[in-house]
Amino acid sequence: MSEQVLPLAASTAHHDGPRPATFSWERAGIYAFLLVAALFFLLPIYTMVSTSLKTMAEVRATNVLMPPLAPTIEAWGAAWSQACTGLDCGGVQVGFLNSLKIVVPVVVLSILVGALNGYVLSFWRFRGANLVFTVLMFGAFIPLQMVLYPLVRLWSSLGLYGSLPGLIAVHVIFGLPVVTLMYRNFYAGLPIEIFKAARVDGAGFWRIFWSIFVPMSAPITIVVVIWQTTGAWNDYILGLTFGGRENAPMTVQLNNIIASQTGERQFNVEMAATMLTAMVPLLVYMVSGRWFVRGITAGAVKG
Amino acid sequence: MAEVEARNLSIRYGEFTALEKLDLTVPHGQFLVLLGPSGCGKSTLLNSIAGLQPITSGQIWIGGKNVTWAEPKDRGIAMVFQSYALYPKMTVRQNLSFGLKVAGVKAAEIAQRVQRAAETLQLHTMLDRRPAELSGGQRQRVAIGRVLVREAEVYLYDEPLSNLDAQLRVELRREIKRLHRHLGSTSIYVTHDQVEALTLADMIAVMNKGRIEQLGSPEEIYERPATRYVAAFIGSPAMNFIDGDIAIEAGKPVFKWGQASIPLDRYSFAAEARPGKATLGVRPEHIAHGEHAGGQDFLVETTIDLLEPMGSDTLVWCRTKEGQQIGLRVPTDLRPREGDAMPLGISVSSASLFDTASGLRL
């Protein structure tokens, strides 16, 4: 292609090589806007990090925008293992463990059930499959608050209220419509002939699922892992309502720490606790943001 | 022995009728090609024979057994798909052995059969590669290999060559034909490509709107098309159609075209000739030109309108004074020029006559 000589280029021989960079006001405007937006979003994070690295004496003495003069991770340690919620002074680590115990099973179960749902809705088109799908999608748009009270009554009559399995079940159920939609759309983008070939090869329902489609599902599964991990980790209302005292996730505990006002406010500890709580979703996005985009656009996998 | 039969088969999707009361018998060992444009129901028919398409009414028989409600795996069939449909996360070897593994065939036997198929199709060097690492032609070879190892009685092909480039298509076409000769099993092959149909088939079923328009050998289909639809679909460049009337003059049928009347003595009518509107169909290669033009049943004066050089020969598009277009092939060394006068000779013995209204062969 590089050898191809356009008639135009022949007549204006001094135009050669890459087009030179040119300045334009539109471009400058775009970059200025992006810079301001980036600063705007970075400011709260900067404040949190810098405050969490100060001692209380320094917090009192300095402006909130001043960087720490003698950075210390004391407040982080305190937030992790000593911060108090009422009389409990175990730090946010209790909530961290609780959140792990919630998030891991939620993610695993969502993947299993969602993938299976998507597989059935894409390939085993039963009578009324479209109706089921529509109803399921309707579930994705029902506000949580509408079903909160009935679900509490139902769960308590089933003995699930305030228990870890009960909380996990609520998460999985509320996540299911979107996770199913993700898997269904992913499978719908695969050639149906693969499914037909597997049937001619004699494979049954489960065999086709486990041997053919599960191994192909990595791109969308990464998306679901990110989606459900951040969703379940950031959840507050479900943890507060269904978790009970023992299973309060990190978000609920963070709120308790910040809301319990005894004596002087420990701004540095509170900032550190908040950073610790936000760490998991933050890491997930930073590590897998690229995979997330790739997975969402990977609908059409070429065989 | 695996004869394949569709009996009174209908398939409807809501209001749309894909197949209407279709009957078809493919004798054992025959290579049948289902030919037609997209949407004619040929793939639907193949899928219903495979058991991948629920039917509305009728029966499917394979090897003397009614398999209408049988699972695909219980029909003794193997199938090749247009998009290859290889399992992307499996190696070629795993792709080939998957079906046998599911069927519970012993590992040693699987290895042996895979080896044999790989050798037949020259795949043995790529057994441990994934489909993504193969070219289109190699992928379709693997797909054919997957069919081979099953040692089925009936092989079904759903436009297997449509995704390949022209050269590979010709190459694999030969390979499929050789394979069929070698295996001697029944094959049903869906395509919209008339060249594939003519080269591969023992029998061609030309389909249109869910019905079989004509079932016959490639020669019959080409030389004696049963309907105008079949005549127009088969042959490239397409058959020339000339609209006129059949009249009986002095007890003999003639074809009236403008002022001309062409004697039809040498045309073999399917039934007794009756007067009425008719269409004369002449294949481009049956039109005589130059010194041969005079010796035919009818001579028509035309001028050359357009030339399409094809390498070995040239398509010449002529036009009569009345504006009728007639295409023919001439050897390239004849060097025709646009605007030249071109007398053409038409012989009715190799032509086809259709009832203009019904499109049926007369």
A303 touches chain B (CB under 8 A): yes
Look at residue A172 in the predicted model and tell me its pLDDT: 95
- Across the interface, whether the CB atoms of B99 and A194 are under 8 A apart is answered no
The residues near B48 (Cβ < 8 Å, ≥ 6 apart) are B6, B9, B11, B19, B54, B55, B60
CA dist B201 and A72 (Å) reads 83
Distance from the Cα of B14 to chain A's closest Cα (Å) equals: 13
Mean pLDDT of the region A34-60? 93
Question: Would you say B242 and B225 are in contact if contact means Cβ atoms under 8 Å apart?
Answer: no
Per-residue pLDDT of chain B (362 residues; tens, 9 = 90+): 689 999 999 999 888 999 999 999 999 999 999 999 998 999 999 999 999 999 999 999 999 999 999 999 999 999 999 988 999 999 999 999 999 999 999 999 999 999 999 998 888 899 999 999 999 889 999 999 999 998 899 999 999 998 888 888 999 999 999 999 988 899 999 999 999 999 999 999 999 999 999 999 999 999 999 999 999 999 888 999 999 999 998 888 999 988 888 889 888 888 888 899 999 999 998 899 888 887 788 888 899 999 999 888 899 999 998 889 999 988 888 888 899 999 999 888 889 999 999 999 98
Beta-carbon separation of A303 and B98 below 8 A: no
Q: In what side-by-side order are the strands of the sheet with B154-158?
A: B77-80, B154-158, B186-191, B31-35, B203-208, B211-216
A252 or A260: which leads in pLDDT: A252
Collect all residues of chain B within an 8 Å Cβ-Cβ radius of residue A211.
87, 98
CA distance, residue A121 to nearest chain B CA (Å): 17
What percent of chain A shows pLDDT beyond 70? 91
The residue of chain B with its CA nearest to that of A301 is B88
Task: Quote the pLDDT of residue B258.
Answer: 84
Query: Is it the case that residue A302 has pLDDT exceeding 60?
Result: no
pLDDT over 90 at A97, yes or no: yes
Instruction: Determine the distance in angstroms separating the CA of B107 from the nearest CA of chain A, rounded to an integer.
Output: 16
Among the ranges given (A131-140, A262-271, B321-330), the one the predictor scored with the smallest mean pLDDT:
A262-271
pLDDT of residue A295: 65
| Minimum CA–CA partner of A124 in chain B | B52
Q: Is the whole-model pTM more than 0.80?
A: yes
Determine the pLDDT at residue A1: 41
Q: Does the pLDDT at position A5 exceed 80?
A: no
Q: Do residue B71 and residue A199 have CB atoms under 8 angstroms apart?
A: yes
User: Is the pLDDT reported for residue A166 higher than 80?
Assistant: yes
Task: Quickly state the pLDDT bin for A89 (edges 50, 70, 90).
Answer: confident
Listed residue (A227, A214, A232, A276) closest to A82, CA to CA: A276
Q: Mean pLDDT lowest for which of A47-51, A59-63, B25-29, B176-180? A: A59-63
Per-residue confidence band for A163, with pLDDT thresholds at 50, 70 and 90: very high
Interface test with A, best of B13, B48, B62, B98 (most A CBs within 10 A): B98
Which chain B residues contact residue A194 at CB under 8 A? 85-88
**A191 contacts in chain B (CB < 8 Å):** 83, 85
Q: Closest approach of chain A CAs to the CA of B52, in angstroms?
A: 7
Q: How far is A213 from chain B (nearest CA, A)?
A: 9
Chain A residue at shortest CA distance from B155: A200
Taking the C-alpha atoms of residue B267 and residue B273, their distance in angstroms, rounded to an integer, is 10
